[in-house]
Amino acid sequence: MNQAASRISYTRPSITELEVAYAADAAANGWGERCYDYIVRFEDGFRKHLGVSHAIATSSCTGAMHMGLAALGIGKGDEVILADTNWIATAAPIVHLGATPVFVDILPDSWCIDPAEVERHITPKTKAIIATHIYGNLCDMDRLLNIGRRHGIPVIEDAAEAIGSEWHGRRAGSMGTFGTFSFHGTKTLTTGEGGMFVTSDDALFEKVLTLSNHGRARNQKKQFWPDDVGFKYKMSNIQAALGCAQLERIEGLIARKRDILVRYAEALKAYQSISLNPESSGTINGAWMPTAVFDRDIGITREMLQQAFSAANIDARVFFHPLTSLPMFPERRSNRHAWDIPERAINLPSYHDMTEDEIRRVTEVIVSLIDSRAAGEPHLAKSA
């Protein structure tokens, strides 16, 4: 590879004149009586896009999760089941509320939570199940919702990475008791930082809406009178202005993400030792983060991948470490897929303006690694 080649970032936002114009308008005019205009517009637009009854814009997906769990009354002595494969942001609110995260294994094909492991870990203390749609891949929502109904346990969707993903006609984040989204600068739709709480449960919405404004209920007539100790996880009007512009472009943004994943799949289809983000029948993968997982017998490791991409001046990202490998949680090597897959996987660059040449450069790193391994192991060579 040419070391002098320009750096390929793993992600960056797509910002056009529309986003700049909306943000400038919010900065110049979004004050006083107009201080919530773009927020209300963004919430309403996102709610309609998702097909849910309510949406609350937040400062982060983590904040949305924190408030949702708090509104469900989750606290000390309670347990919340979630996949060991997660970013810590999903687990942190559970810990902040004094509850215990129960980490279970993932499925080897979707890299999402294993419903059988969920059911196996349910106890009288279980108060919620979190389904994280990792990298845009979809959890088996039919099985999870069925488990939730049978046990009387709410299923929550962490759809931070799943804008554009659909499960048999229903958008990710719209199926559970509530859903949460991230609009971090790395996401398909961005507000820089930010998130969204969504639900079709009217009572839960009112509870979270109150919590989101320092515990002040919207029907409270007394000024500066909180009815509860709440939170301050509001999105700013300027951020929401960016979100409104991005939402107008959302179908194109999703389509481009999916197109990049298809490009990778086409370039690597001859190599049976690689698995990319799956898309099972009846589903749509929003393809936020194209990810390559290598068969164990090929001998390609995370460290080899990092070194090869670094040498090619490409910013590829590691697959999430299992949360139970981190120092703050008890180790659970029995979650074998969550521990095994990250050792032989890598996230691939996928920003909106990525060129065909840049996609080629990324795939060349992978092909070169496989071919070099196959030279010593003929059975690893690509199929005819």
* CATH number of the domain where residue 224 is located: 3.40.640.10
Which of residues 220, 248, 276 is at a domain's end? 248
Number of domains in the chain: 2
Asked if residue 302 is part of any domain, the answer here is yes
Q: How do 274-275 and 166-167 pair as beta strands?
A: unpaired
Answer for the pair 297, 344: CB distance below 8 angstroms, yes or no. no
Q: How far apart, in whole angstroms, are the C-alpha atoms of residue 300 and residue 31? A: 55
- Give me the CATH number covering residue 366: 3.90.1150.10
Q: Is 161 helix (H, G, I), strand (E, B) or coil?
A: coil
Q: Is residue 233 part of a domain?
A: yes
| pLDDT for 380 | 45
Nearest to 107 by CA among 321, 341, 297, 291: 341
pLDDT of 372: 87
Report the C-alpha gap between 69 and 130 in whole angstroms.
10
Q: How far apart are CA 137 and CA 134, in angstroms?
A: 5
Q: Do 44 and 128 lie in a common domain?
A: yes
In the block, tokens 């106890």 appear at 123
Q: Are residues 295 and 229 in the same domain?
A: no
Q: Pick from 225, 248, 271: which residue ends a domain?
A: 248
Closest CA to 59 of 78, 30, 73, 39: 39
- The model carries a pTM of 0.95
What angle, 0 to 180 degrees and rounded to 10, lies between the N-to-C axes of helices 302-311 and 356-376? 130
Same domain, residue pair 159 and 38? yes
317 and 174 share one domain: no
Residue 208 belongs to some domain of the structure: yes
Report which DSSP code applies to 124: T
Question: 225 and 87 in one domain?
Answer: yes
In a domain, 10, yes or no: no
| CA 19 vs CA 33, 190, 236, 310: distances in Å | 22, 10, 15, 32
Q: Verify that 298 and 151 share a domain, yes or no.
A: no
Q: Are residues 106 and 156 in the same domain?
A: yes
- State which of 213, 248, 283 marks the end of a domain: 248
Same domain, 263 and 181: no
Residue 256 and residue 206 share a domain: no
Domain assignment of residue 257, yes or no: yes
Q: What is the pLDDT along the chain (384 residues), one digit of tens a residue?
A: 444 689 999 999 999 999 999 999 999 999 999 999 999 999 999 999 999 999 999 999 999 999 999 999 999 999 999 999 999 999 999 999 999 999 999 999 999 999 999 999 999 999 999 999 999 999 999 999 999 999 999 999 999 999 999 999 999 999 999 999 999 999 999 999 999 999 999 999 999 999 999 999 999 999 999 999 999 999 999 999 999 999 999 999 999 999 999 999 999 999 999 999 999 999 999 999 999 999 999 999 999 999 999 999 999 999 999 999 999 999 999 999 999 999 999 999 999 999 999 999 999 999 999 998 876 654 344 544
Which pLDDT belongs to residue 375? 67
Residue 185 within any structural domain of the chain:
yes
Structural domain that includes position 260: 251-380
Kindly state whether residues 265 and 241 are assigned to the same domain. Answer: no
Q: Considering the domain boundaries, does residue 5 fall inside one?
A: no
Neighbouring residues of 39: CB distance < 8 A, sequence distance ≥ 6: 57, 234, 235, 236, 237, 240
Q: Are residues 191 and 92 in the same domain?
A: yes
Asked if residue 3 is part of any domain, the answer here is no
Q: Within this chain, do residues 218 and 302 fall inside the same structural domain, yes or no?
A: no
* Whether 250 contacts 189, CB under 8 Å: yes
